[in-house]
Amino acid sequence: MAQQHDREHDRDPRGSREYRGTQGEPTAGRSVASPVAPASGRVATEVAIAGRVGGIPANPFAVSDVRVRKAQAAGADVIDLSKGNPDGEPPEFMLDAAVTAVRDRANFRYPAFAGKPAFLQAAARWYARQYGVALEPASELLAVAGAGVGISEVIEALIDPGDLVVMIDPYYPQYRGSTAVAQGRIHLVEAQPELGFLPDLQAVPERVWDEAKLLILNYPNNPTGAAATPELFAMAVRLAKAHHFTVMHDFAYAGIGFDAHPPISLLQTPGALDVGVELCSLSKMYMVAGWRAGFVACRPELMAAVRVVHEQTSLLVTSVVQDAGAAGLNSDQASVRALAERYAGRYETLRDGLSRAGLELVPSHGGLFGWLRVPDGWSDQDFALWLLAHPHVAAIPGSDFGPAGASYVRLSLLVPESVLHRAAERIARARGDAW
């Protein structure tokens, strides 16, 4: 495994710093013997591996899966709170739409590269109804096989080797991974607990914004549960216009808010479409993670570049999934509101149970996770290992989301309340004098 080196430069008092991420041993132009099973009878060949592969960090969720499987193989009854995989099913009307779409002969053919017109029109209507944002389906929307695909496509369309990407720490790990694939540099701006885990963008040095090519935001936030404010988005748009960079908002948890007012869209901000791009996912709103569908929204000039990448590198969204997704987007969103209420209840169950174990969940405004501060004297990595080894509860160490997460672990809300209650009880019983 490549060694990890976190290099920091010019740290300012508000947590803004340059972060170069994972660097592996240089392999460009080097011949590497491919592994061969001894009994295969095949001869090992020399393979020249691209140098950029050494700079791509390991996927922390894949690493966690290995840990969980090892614990289970050893006989542990693991409650797996490490995953962000929805545990329910889509609303019945979406299933009905999918069944109908399966029998539609038009869906036996390849779909359009940009997406079926009906799906793009449904996404435009959803934006208009939910956020008052007017978008042109044919030129400002793109169907993608999940928001993660859209993230990669936007980064590939914008970032050349050496370009600077600004991220809020903690961050969703794919942002770092996709930037590494594009061979960009990263500057981290630490989310401030006293600001509700939002960043102070005004405190970032002007020279960083002058150099930035892309700012990545994500609200409701994974992993912290922070919610964006109109003021935060307005500041991001103002800075982007003044310094000529793009703002990418990962809106994967649209509709999954715990507050009286639902989560807001970046594109609601005046002038945001001039400098912004937003990515939406059907997976979280409608519990269809396995269907892989979402969409990208941005101005036509940027969309043209994203589509060039999309048309050469991406699988298209299945026509059946687009038809079912259109049914979801065209609905009154009552199912999404009910889902948000369910997750809010789960968060409260986990929060209250963990408090009895002397642990504190950070207040959350939405999303699918709880952000848990580890006990004093513990590292996040050690505490995650303790959780798996003793109460047999799987969590993701907070530092997997960036250096600012080093005092936290992330716990999923995607299991029933009864399971969350049992997990908290196990932790309380196993605690002893551990903290």
Closest CA to 227 of 190, 268, 198: 198
Does the domain at residues 60-88+335-431 carry the CATH identifier 2.40.50.180? no
Domains 60-88+335-431 and 92-333 share a fold: no
Cα gap 183→171, rounded to integer Å: 18
Which CA distances in Å does 186 have to 104, 171, 316? 46, 12, 30
Closest CA to 220 of 259, 262, 190, 263: 263
Q: What is the pLDDT of residue 41?
A: 65
Regions of the chain short of the pLDDT cut 70: 1-41, 44
**Which pLDDT tens digit goes with each residue over 125-171?**
999 999 999 999 999 999 999 899 999 999 999 999 999 999 999 99
Q: What is the pLDDT of residue 260?
A: 87
Cα 10 to chain centroid distance, Å, stands at 27
**Which pLDDT tens digit goes with each residue over 44-98?**
678 888 888 888 888 889 999 999 999 999 999 999 999 888 888 999 999 999 9
Give domain limits for the chain: 60-88+335-431, 92-333
pTM for this predicted structure: 0.89
In 107-255, DSSP assigns E strands to: 141-144, 164-169, 185-190, 212-218, 246-251
Structure tokens at 129: 């109804």
Q: What is the pLDDT of residue 24?
A: 37
What H or E segment, with its residue span, contains residue 145?
none
What fold characterizes domain 92-333?
Answer: Aspartate Aminotransferase; domain 2 (3.40.640)
Q: What is the pLDDT of residue 399?
A: 97
